[in-house]
Structure 1
Amino acid sequence: MSQLESEAMESEFGTVAGWTEEAVRALGPEYAVPAGCRGSGSEAALRWLADRMALTARSRVLDDGAGVGGPAGWLAAERGVRAVCAEPMPEGARAAHRLFGLPSVVAPAQHLPFAAASFDAAWCLGVLCTTSDKAGALAELHRVLRDGGRLGLLVFVADRPLPPPLPEGNEFPTEPELLDLLGAAGFRLAETATADLGDSAPEWSRRAGAVEDEIVRRHGDDPRWSEAQEQSGRVGRLLADGALRAWLGIAVEVARPA
């Protein structure tokens, strides 16, 4: 995630991240990737992005807004690529390191602690919707990518006015607004697709559900769990009724501002 702008988002991406790590440790390491990808991609979406980011085992890759590290863990297991995780919530950054052994730093998307041109590629999954400073986040990604570096994106875009109740703190761009932001940051859009976030294998879904059940067993009476569930449920309802779309994109770093 990026800079979080509501208490509900703090619960969803902070407190629940710690609970997710706790539940995965109780159930086993095979539960880590499905649980860690909650809200940030399906297997097919991750595969679509990885195929088009031209990654090799030697690629320097950033997962910006990594959460508990599920997508980065998938990338390590499936492609042999060890991404660096940046995540503003300490609970998430700790979980990414403990569950997947990945290098992780606590940092918001607008202030990444890396030198310019540090990475060959980056992905940013479900992050731009969580901040009002989308331009700042994209500018930082542009800064830390080398010339010609590729950026993979999953963004929930608004295809029509959004009916209430809306998730707290989220700001969903339209697709034209997103394209304008990418161009202003110095990126050229190479390819897009629409993600089906429900197309993961049955075993993936079963394991993700088992982790959620374990969290409920341990923390179901905590109001922060209800708050986080309501937050994610509102996003799910907007996706289900077609007001939001899970937009996938590959952008290429083309020009550094003078």
Structure 2
Amino acid sequence: MSLPGKVYLVGAGPGAQDLITLRGARLLAQADVVLYDALVTPEMLELCAQAELIAVGKRSGQRSTAQQHINELLVEQARRHRIVVRLKGGDPMMFGRADEELRALEEAGIEVEVVPGITTALAAAASTRQPLTKRGVARSVAFFTSSTAPGHPEEAALPSTDTLIQYMGGREAMATGQRLLAQGLAPETCVVIVENCSRKDERIVRMDLAGLAQGLRQAHGPVLVMVGAAMARRPHQAPDRSVQVEPARVDAEDAVERVPAR
């Protein structure tokens, strides 16, 4: 009887094919089977054309693959194949449910390795040219999501930090803005929204916290919300091909400009 294969939890990065790590790309080219997330782009899957592809996407509020089933699939595939890649958007260890998959594989006695990816917050900071930290302005950063496990209510207070980054923030953006105002953050605090970060249809919106509290238009892809004084535009900063939103009103169709394909 042959030994089980090995599972690699690989971070695909924020979306652009050339932002995956060299190790991640090499493993995709060697994989026998790839179980991939809903946020993984078709261009990324071109790197593993030889592999069997299994879609196991999970999207908030949509019909998706149950995590327990994904865990079982990983164990099953590792017992059939030598190299199994679990391809996750961003970084596996950042809101990627890696803990549940690691535990399932470890309990089954299957070897597993994690290959990090560029998490979306760092890609968004690069795309907007807004450092998340800034000397004399911001020296702390917190990442959070409003999505919680069943039976685990969301924390009442948001993290207290200089720069606040909300993952999967599309539908929750209004509530986040309102809660931050209620916690005493100034209405004029700078906010940058990045949708479909690093992809051909990337969109960038700039506004203030008062505008965020009025809500965003419906997003057509993953949304990252960045809040804090570090998000202020520099005096001579080049245009980022987005339209500055008036603080008192959020009209997303007028406020967002599609970023040209790279």
Structure 1-normalised TM-score?
0.37
- Structure of greater Rg: 2
Kindly indicate which of the two structures has a greater share of residues assigned to helix.
1
Structure 2-normalised TM-score?
0.37
